[in-house]
Chains A and B, each alone.
Chain A
Amino acid sequence: MAMQSTSGVPRPAAAKAVFWRDPNIRAIFYQVLVVAIVGGFVWWLVSNTLENMERQRIASGFGFLGTESGFDIGDTLVHYSPADTYARAIWVGILNTLRVALLGIVLSTILGTLIGIGRLSRNWLLAKICTVYVEAIRNVPLLLQLFVWLSLFRFYLPDKANAVDIIGIKISKKGLQFPVPVENPAYQWVGIAVLVGIVAAFAVSHWARRRQAATGKQFPTVWAGLGLMLGLPLLVFLAAGAPLQWNIPTLGRFGFSGGGEVLPEMTALLLGLTIYTAAFIAEIVRAGILAVNKGQSEAAAALGLRSGTAMRLIILPQALRVIIPPMTSQYLNITKNSSLAIAIGYPDIVAILNTTMNQTGQAVESTVLIMACYLTVSLTISVFMNWYNKRIALVER
């Protein structure tokens, strides 16, 4: 624009800056420089690795996945035998990791929320015990806690021959054995009834909301929904003549057979993860509740809302916005910490790939697989939690 100026003042010649002083060119230069350094470093590592692998005669590539694994896995969710491939073994490991992580997330959320609320209790003793729990648990390494649980099981639980029997559930050093119902065609109908009950519960809650909007009448949605979800399957079960036959675990010469079981390693891992993470979740929940201004509950009370309604409509929606982001990272932590399984002999993805690595020597490939698995899980959890966070944050502005 200045070029079109009609005044006779000559423009300073500096307008055409020397190119190395142009910020844009500098930016490109810096980036190229950094990328070149990083790229060179990576290239150096890769070429060293290739050379080393060639020298040690390690074949690279993922061909080994299709070969027979030859090792057994103690705890599997899907059918598996040593004759299966490495790929199948890895799949078993992924499922084991997901199982322990999901259970851990659910249990630690429940426990952590209770303890977080307990710390805010008016009851001094309860509040103090919850504080001591949090401080004691989060200042001791998780791995040590896993050892302690396993050791306590070995120390205090009876031998398999003298297993404690509570209504058919047997507890011993061999873990937890419990009866499972023998399969029966009626169960499919019960399963369908559960689904129908869930759909019906949603329909009822929708109807109740519509009716409240139209007439102002309230409806006990929660109880009705619970009744539908539990009552309907129960009715179907009874209508089918209540076919119930248990497959009871019995002690043979080589341990228990029949029924379902949870091995002590799995129990120790789940217990350790839950108790450890609950301490952190308790702090998050407590902070979230404290973050909601006291005036909010006072305003709700002054309007005549009951404390339960105020909690549901006013306090919780606001506390959740504070709680969700740090909760996400705790859920990610549970998933990552479940990899400590390797130290106590629970066959998770890391333990299985570690065995694979030792058997095949495919260090690079195994490590890449471990990382890829966790990155996938981590990304999935973050994407989901970000979506949820956005959904509840959207209400705000």
Chain B
Amino acid sequence: MAQAARNLDAEPVEIELHNVNKWYGQFHVLRDVNLTVRKGEKVVVCGPSGSGKSTLIRCINRLEEHQAGDILVDGTLLTNDVKNIEIIRRDVGMVFQQFNLFPHLTIIDNLTLAPIWVRKMPRKDAEELAMMYLERVRIPEQAQKFPGQLSGGQQQRVAIARALCMRPKIMLFDEPTSALDPEMVKEVLDVMVELANEGMTMICVTHEMGFARSVADNVVFMDRGEVVEMAAPEEFFAHPKSERTRLFLSQILAH
């Protein structure tokens, strides 16, 4: 882990957030958030409900609009410019808590849709690509089924494969295991660990502390819209600096 961290400093910066602020009406959801993510880095974001974790990563691919501060993704500044947003979304994959597969399309069509319409890929190539990723997530036999016929764990793996089909440089995970039955969490986490080992840049909102410990280069703790603490996992879990972090960890690990 320490070695990985040393290597990282030499890598180029992929995502940079500088004093990002966001309000929902009167409600201040993000307060002066600063964050730098380098190529190949894995960041796990945790924090209590409503702390702004999801909002934070949804700002990175502009599903939400921030109102102050700068967000740079892969050298592109996020502004209202539609072109910029399109470029960034092409390079940033996202996995949702509720999977959000398209229920009216087969699994293979779910996977090939964006490559065909956004990357303008021939259908045959797109299908080959899709099958490759379905094999990676270990469900190639489900290609012709519809999302409704799959279990939650399978659906989430399809969702990961769907994002990967765009060959993104960065992957965002928004609580990918929170909507799953306990016995299905592992199959999804396994896929995510594999992806991490391949060197994908990842930001992952999750409460799976085991995953954070084994995979993350940095753990970010957020509360009330602020980044309270950011540290390497061994440091984060062993010696949390802030009282709020300690309280959160005691709640979440008290089993």
Binding site for B on A (CB under 8 A): 212-218, 293, 295-296, 298-306, 309, 313-314, 317-318, 321, 395-397
Q: Contact between B96 and A305 (Cβ–Cβ < 8 Å)?
A: no
Instruction: Give a binary string over B124-146; 1 marks a CB under 8 Å from any A CB, 0 the rest.
Output: 11100000000000000000001
Tell me the interface secondary structure of chain A in the complex: helix
- The CA of A304 and the CA of B62, in the complex, are separated in Å by 11
Asked if B148 contacts A302 (CB within 8 A), the reply is no
> Would A216 and B148 be within 8 Å (CB), given that A304-B89, A304-B118 are in contact?
no
Q: How far does the alpha carbon of A22 sit from the alpha carbon of B86 in the complex, in Å?
A: 71
User: B118 near A303 (CB under 8 angstroms)?
Assistant: yes
- CB nearest to B117 among chain A residues: A309
B114: which of A304, A318, A396 is its contact (CB, 8 Å)?
A: A304
Chain A residue contacts of B146, Cβ below 8 A: 396-397
A301 touches B63 (CB 8 A): yes
Q: A306-B86, A313-B117, A397-B149 are in contact. Are A295 and B122 (CB under 8 A)?
A: no
Supply 4 further A-B pairs (C-beta < 8 A) apart from A302-B94, A318-B104. A295-B98, A298-B96, A299-B101, A302-B163
Interface residue from B63, B86, B104, B125 paired with A396 (Cβ < 8 Å): B104
Contact indicator B100/A296 (Cβ below 8 Å): yes
A313 touches which of B101, B113, B163 (Cβ 8 Å)? B113
Q: Which residues of B contact A309 (CB under 8 A)?
A: 117
Interface bin, chain B: 35 or more
B103: chain A residues within 8 A (beta carbon): 318, 396
CB atoms of B124 and A213 under 8 A apart = yes
Report B103-129 residues with CB < 8 Å from chain A CB. 103-105, 113-114, 116-126
Interface pair B89/A303, CB less than 8 Å apart: yes
Instruction: Provide the residues of chain A in CB contact with B63, threshold 8 Å.
Output: 298, 301-302
Residue contact B162 to A216, C-beta cutoff 8 Å: no
Q: Using a CB–CB distance below 8 Å, which chain B residues touch chain A?
A: 61, 63, 86, 89-90, 92-94, 96, 98, 100-105, 113-114, 116-126, 146, 148-149, 162-163, 166
Q: Answer whether A299 and B102 are a contact pair too, CB < 8 Å, given A212-B116, A304-B86.
A: yes
Q: Are B122 and A299 in contact (CB under 8 A)?
A: no
Residues of B within 8 A of A314 (CB): 102
* Contact indicator B96/A213 (Cβ below 8 Å): no
A214, A293, A397: the one within 8 Å of B122 (CB): A214
Residues of A within 8 A of B124 (CB): 213-214
Q: A296 contacts B122, CB within 8 Å?
A: no
Check B90–A304 contact: CB distance below 8 A: yes
Q: Point out the residues of chain B lying under 8 angstroms from A218, CB to CB.
A: 117, 120
Residues of chain B contacted by A298 (CB below 8 angstroms): 63, 96, 100
- A296 surroundings in chain B (CB, below 8 A): 100, 102
Which listed residue (A216, A302, A395) contacts B89, Cβ 8 A? A302
Instruction: Decide: B123 and A212 in contact? CB cutoff 8 A.
Output: yes
Q: Which residues of A contact B105 (CB under 8 A)?
A: 395
- Which A residues are in CB contact (< 8 Å) with B116? 212, 216
Closest 10 CB pairs of A and B: A299-B100, A213-B123, A303-B114, A295-B100, A302-B94, A304-B89, A216-B120, A304-B118, A304-B90, A216-B122
Q: Say yes or no: A305 contacts B118, CB within 8 Å.
A: yes
Q: Which residues of A contact B98 (CB under 8 A)?
A: 293, 295
The CA-CA distance from A213 to B86 in the complex, in Å, is 23
B102, B113, B119: the one contacting A216 at CB < 8 Å is B119
What would 8 A/B residue contacts be, using CB atoms closer than 8 Å? A213-B122, A214-B124, A302-B63, A303-B118, A304-B90, A305-B114, A313-B113, A397-B148
